[in-house]
Structure 1
Amino acid sequence: MAAGTNIRQILGLEDLAKMKVLSAALLAEFLGTAILVLIGCGSCITGWDLDYSPTIVQIALAFGVTVGTVVQFIGHVSGGHINPAVTLGFLVTKKISLFRAMLYVIVQCLGAIVGAGLLKGLTPSNLQGNLGATVVNQHLSPVQGFVVELCITFVLVFTVFACCDENRGDIKGSAPLAIGLSVATCHMFAIKYTGASMNTARSFGPAVVANVWSNHWVYWIGPILGGVIAALLYQFIFSAPTPPSEESEYAEKVELREKQETPSV
């Protein structure tokens, strides 16, 4: 019975019995990813006038603050993944079912397409460019771009797992803010290298709408592999130990007191 229950949990068959909850989570992931692409990629649009050109810091903050904001308002509904790398990291550590993970990735990609489509509709045709699509710098090889994406996504997913570790008692600040800051920090480093995707869906949406597919595999394999490595490393090596229960602490104190009170022979 236990084995059968475990298989049902892994495959996500139990999610089918909670379709209302699952539907809300899918809608949250769809909406959150669409907002991320609309605002984040919108900050990359250039050419409005001669005095305006977005800086690396501006773009980094747009993505980072947007991620933090979205995680804040949908985290209680879906976990606030808005990123296939995060979702697959949760999948390999058995924190989410296979069924739910597949649906999350699908709606994240669809949300990214809608966000990029909305951005295109709101932007004058002569300013659209590639709608913020990510491309590997011409001075880098695709393999170098792959490693950059792996590294920055590793940082993001490692931060997510550290912030979501229920056994940690030292975290006093805001988890969404910490996650958003990790995104902003990695953008400041990697925009000039790969456009700093660290999110397959974020790259996929603009690629579909703007038809930009140069070295697109970098933005699938790099982030997903980086996210999976970070998730496994944190889960099995860096996760905080389970704190002792109040009962066990009390039992240990009683045992210690009895030893102290027992006269030596």
Structure 2
Amino acid sequence: MAAFKGIWTKDFWRAVSGEYLATLIFVLLGLGSTINWAAGEEKPPPADLVLISLCFGLSIATMVQCFGHISGGHINPAVTAAMVVTRKLSLAKAVFYVAAQCLGAVTGAGILYLVTPAALRGSLGVTTVKSDISLGHGFLVELLITFELVFTVFATCDPKRTDLGGSAGLAIGFAVAIGHLFGIPFTGASMNPARSFGPAMVMLNFQDHWVYWVGPILGGILAAGLYEYLYCPDPDMKKTLKRVFKKDPSGKYREVEAADEVAVKTGSIHTVDLEKAEKKDPFHESPGEVLSSV
């Protein structure tokens, strides 16, 4: 229950509602670019991949800029999962974030469904793996383009870097646009489970839907893990990993520096009072401390 203590605050619910609204706007605008208004013509032109890619990319850049200081601007369950594995967000809070993102996506897709003429709705931007490739290949494409996105998120929002300039939101938007330019012919380029879930729920079309959850989430986790623990590790991480906690009969945890053999042998250890420790939630970050991301 200690993990849930941080969610009963106004700031947290403001952040959750921010994720809902940001995802709603993003999905509404992004899916709107997939509507083919020339569908009623005798020879309708094919979908404009550049238009769709730029719309998704610029939409996410705008939403990150608007909501980054409110919720961290995840707007994507894959990014939220990446934050969890790198200990930037607690699992309890991540559940609420993902629920808000999915609900926002369904709402955005539902609004688009209502305002679009029935003859022009088509598939409403539902993502499916193209018949020319296998589901395995589609899974790999989604993993790779989401890896590119999440790695960009962590690299452009890294507080340890001193060489950053310009707009992180715009860089993230470019990453989304690039992923779409490459991935649309293969899988429709989801890069975001919520983006795929919204129109799939409205149209009740869940064909190949697992690809758009498993692929992006694994790609995001892999990118976050490689960036945080291999390429740009936190200098204090080694100290954290060396800590060993043991519980004595009195109910108190004893913290031992495993690298300090002398301290272990002599019994020079730290005692942590559980009641005091529970008052400080290690994952109780303010919205501004969450990595600004998609």
Give TM-score scaled by structure 1 length: 0.84
Aligned to 2:35: 45
Please provide the CA RMSD for this pair. 1.6
Once residues 217 and 85 of structure 1 are traced to their aligned partners in structure 2, the CA distance between those partners, rounded to angstroms, is 13
Q: Among 108, 132, 140, which residue is 2:125 paired with?
A: 132
Q: Does 1:15 align with 2:3?
A: no
Once residues 118 and 14 of structure 1 are traced to their aligned partners in structure 2, the CA distance between those partners, rounded to angstroms, is 33
1:38 to partner: Cα distance:
0.5
Once residues 88 and 168 of structure 2 are traced to their aligned partners in structure 1, the CA distance between those partners, rounded to angstroms, is 18
Aligned to 1:184: 177
Percent identity, aligned pairs only?
51
Once residues 179 and 80 of structure 2 are traced to their aligned partners in structure 1, the CA distance between those partners, rounded to angstroms, is 19
Kindly indicate whether the alpha-carbon contact (under 8 Å) linking 1:12 and 1:98 is maintained by their aligned counterparts in 2. no
1:20 to partner: Cα distance:
0.7
1:52 to partner: Cα distance:
6.1
1:13 to partner: Cα distance:
2.2
Considering fraction of residues, name the structure with more helix. 1
Aligned to 1:213: 206
SS of 2:154 mapped into structure 1: helix
Considering fraction of residues, name the structure with more strand. 2
Once residues 167 and 149 of structure 2 are traced to their aligned partners in structure 1, the CA distance between those partners, rounded to angstroms, is 15
Unaligned runs of 5+ residues in structure 2 are 237-294
1:240 to partner: Cα distance:
6.3
Aligned to 2:24: 34
Kindly indicate whether the alpha-carbon contact (under 8 Å) linking 2:7 and 2:93 is maintained by their aligned counterparts in 1. yes
Kindly indicate whether the alpha-carbon contact (under 8 Å) linking 2:228 and 2:234 is maintained by their aligned counterparts in 1. no
SS of 1:68 mapped into structure 2: helix
Aligned to 1:251: none
Aligned residues: 233
Matches within 5 A, 1:101-250: 101-239=94-232
Kindly indicate whether the alpha-carbon contact (under 8 Å) linking 2:109 and 2:202 is maintained by their aligned counterparts in 1. yes
Aligned to 2:279: none
Query: Which of structure 1's runs of 4+ aligned residues deviate more than 2 A?
Result: 11-16, 47-54, 240-243
Counterpart residue identity of residue 201, structure 2? V
Unaligned runs of 5+ residues in structure 1 are 1-6, 244-265
Q: Among 46, 65, 69, which residue is 2:62 paired with?
A: 69
- CA displacement 1:79-135 (0-9 Å, x = unmatched): 000000000000010001111100000010000000000000010001111110101
Once residues 165 and 188 of structure 1 are traced to their aligned partners in structure 2, the CA distance between those partners, rounded to angstroms, is 26
Once residues 36 and 203 of structure 2 are traced to their aligned partners in structure 1, the CA distance between those partners, rounded to angstroms, is 15
Once residues 169 and 211 of structure 1 are traced to their aligned partners in structure 2, the CA distance between those partners, rounded to angstroms, is 47
Once residues 98 and 45 of structure 2 are traced to their aligned partners in structure 1, the CA distance between those partners, rounded to angstroms, is 35
Kindly indicate whether the alpha-carbon contact (under 8 Å) linking 2:35 and 2:121 is maintained by their aligned counterparts in 1. yes
Aligned to 1:254: none
